Structure 1
Amino acid sequence: MGAKIKRPYDSTRRQQQAAETRRSIITAANELFISQGYGQTTMKQVAERAGVAVETVYAAFRTKAALLRHVWYVDFRGDEAEVTLYDRAEMQAILAEPDLRARIRRHAAFVTASNRRIAPLLEALTGAAASEPDAVAMLTEWADRRLDVATRYAHAAAATGQLGVAEEECRDVLFATMDGTLWSRFVGQRGWTDERFADWLAAMWISMLLRE
């Protein structure tokens, strides 16, 4: 009798299943953080919503704070790849625009789309920050990341020779106006469309930052 032939181990399929499980957990956590609050959400509830064992959630993310971080950046970037939004192809294409006015208009549309993606979770985290250290830590990390983006963007803008203000002022204006607060006021509370807000944001940046 011939020797039995072992079936090859399908590592690709296992990786796909693991990735699908992670996505289900992240989606479930995102929904619960928004609907009932970060502090009120337990890992067990996330597991139940995702249809997995709670041990699977802990094995994938270890802590609720780590899960929150993954939820945030998937919301913000669109996937789990550890590549900052600034370094991604869409943003790099914007930075490649030589005319600063055109670059700013494209950037305003980009920021507006990002604001819409993160708005529900940002609101939930802001509300949780009064009592949840994890929420405070996440918002602090995001502010640090936003300052880094504003610094790099301002440096690139200054390199065009088209800025009408100091590079540091450009950095500070961008840092203060990209966080979603203005989007929430105009779109969320006053009913503006995203297109109207993006046009307004671009016009404000151009009037404040560029040479006449």
Structure 2
Amino acid sequence: METWGHRSSVRGDGARRTRRAIVAAAGELFVRDGYQATSIAAVALAAGVDRSAVAAACGPKPALLRAVVDRALGGDDEPVPPADRPWFRPVWDASCPADVLDAYAGVCALLGGRASGVLGVVHRAAGTDPEVAELRRALRADRRDAASRVAAHAARTGRLRTGLDRATDVLWLLNDPAHYGALVHGRGWPEAAFREWLAGAMRASLLPAGRDGRPAGG
């Protein structure tokens, strides 16, 4: 006989699967057709659910877009910020500025591959939808916060050529996933080439001239 707890768990698992299907369908449609052109009805049809299920699982359309962005950035639907994810750990484990920046370039390439498409959707829709414009502002603030934390960690591990505020600005400029979209998706760069370029740009901007920021013999 099923217990109440077992039935509750089954329902919870079903709700999570439904939400994942809705978010996945919305992400594909937003990137393919654009935010304005994608209706909740179209998302429901693609996900194989009723229209009411979309609102119940994710809320109104701007909240659905946020859910798509969060999943793209995190790689799953767990409520864990990117900077606290295991794949961000090499940044915090690095012990000299060059290694910090190289690891962060790898993180930026990973996030660009996952999220540059849907973040482009956010950028384009922000001009016509105030709620999406607020989402864009929040995402920019999140990127700057990440840049600030990485710059501070790099400075703790060695000398930078700029102060922390300028270093944060540089990393905030360079960590924009739009660069990945332009060079990898737009120009056909291999991801490894993009990662190498980004790491080089970070090092050239933030490390003292003529040094790679690694300890002697490193």
Q: How much has 1:13 moved relative to structure 2?
A: 1.9
Q: Is the 8 A contact 1:47 1:53 kept in 2?
A: yes
1:202 to 1:7, Cα distance in 2 relative to 1, 3 A:
closer
Higher radius of gyration, 1 or 2: 1
Q: Please list the CA deviations of residues 190-211 of structure 1 after superposition, one character each: whole Å capped at 9, or x if unmatched.
A: 2211101111111111111112
Instruction: Name the counterpart of 1:80.
Output: 77
Deviation at 1:92, TM superposition (A): 2.6
Partner in structure 1 of residue 195 of structure 2:
198
Counterpart Cα distance in 1 of 2:59 and 2:121 = 22
Q: Deviations over 1:92-121 (max 9, x none)?
A: 332111122122112112211111111221
Cα contact 1:27–1:71 (8 A) shared by 2: yes
Partner of 1:70: 67
Deviations 1:58-82 (A, max 9, x none): 1112211111111111011111222
Say if 2:168 is the partner of 1:188: no
Contact 2:96 2:154 in 1 (8 A): no
Q: CA deviation at 1:22?
A: 0.5
State, as a whole percentage, how many aligned pairs show the same letter. 31
| Residue 92 (1) aligns with residue 103 (2) | no
| TM-score under structure 2 length normalisation | 0.89
Partner in structure 2 of residue 3 of structure 1: none
2:151 & 2:99 partners in 1: Cα distance? Answer: 15
Is the 1:39–1:132 contact (alpha carbons within 8 Å) kept by the matching residues of 2?
no
Shift in Å at residue 134 of structure 1?
3.0
- Conserved in 2, the CA contact under 8 Å of 1:109 and 1:195? no
Higher mean alpha-carbon deviation, 119-128 vs 148-157, is at: 119-128
Deviation at 1:36, TM superposition (A): 1.4
Alignment RMSD: 1.5
Q: Which residue of 2 aligns with 1:123?
A: 120
Is the partner of 2:158 in helix, strand or coil? coil
**In the alignment, residue 175 of structure 2 is paired with which amino acid?**
M
* 2-structure distance, mates of 1:84, 1:151: 15
Residue ranges of structure 2 left out of the alignment (5+ in a row): 212-218
2:19 aligned with 1:22, yes or no? Answer: yes
Report whether the alignment pairs 1:207 with 2:197.
Answer: no
Matched ranges for 1:107-118 at <5 A: 107-118=104-115
The number of aligned residues is 207
2:21 alignment partner AA: S
Alpha carbons 2:109, 2:194 under 8 Å: kept: yes
Q: Alignment partner for residue 104 of structure 1, among 101, 107, 124?
A: 101
Quote the Cα distance in structure 1 between the aligned partners of 2:59 and 2:185.
34
Amino acid at match of 1:133: P
2:56 alignment partner in structure 1: 59
Aligned letter for 1:91?
F
Q: Give the TM-score of the pair, scaled to structure 1.
A: 0.91
Q: What is the CA–CA distance in structure 2 between the aligned matches of 1:45 and 1:186, rounded to whole Å?
A: 31
Higher alpha-carbon deviation: 134-143 or 15-24: 134-143
Q: 1:189 to 1:99 in 2, by over 3 A?
A: same
Q: Which residue in the other structure is 1:12 paired with?
A: 9
Cα distance in structure 1, aligned partners of 2:53 and 2:128: 27
